[in-house]
């Protein structure tokens, strides 16, 4: 997982074949420097999603540098 890119803006973990921008928010600020990992399946009922301000289901990094 360490070779995956993460969006600095929304913390979404990008697929290996990701382009140069985030597939969710469109940001071009991607990094390989991140830690922690959470999968959010139902953001509408998730307290973690609410805390992270996540509205789309998917894979997210907890800490992005």
Q: Are 13 and 37 in contact (CB under 8 A)?
A: yes
Q: Is 10 annotated as a binding residue?
A: yes
Determine contact, residues 55/42, Cβ cutoff 8 Å: no
Query: Which of 8, 15, 59 has the alpha carbon at shortest distance from 31?
Result: 8
Is 7 marked as a binding-site residue? yes
CB atoms within 10 A of CB 22: 21
Residue numbers belonging to the annotated binding site: 7, 10, 22, 25
Residue numbers belonging to the annotated binding site for Zn(2+): 7, 10, 22, 25
């Amino acid at each position: 997982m360490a070779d995956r890119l993460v969006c600095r803006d929304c913390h979404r973990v990008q697929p290996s074949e990701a382009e140069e921008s985030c597939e969710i928010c469109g940001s071009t600020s991607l990094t390989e420097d991140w830690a922690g990992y959470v999968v959010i399946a139902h953001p509408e009922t998730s307290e973690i999603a609410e805390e992270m301000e996540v509205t789309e289901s998917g894979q997210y990094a907890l800490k992005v540098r």
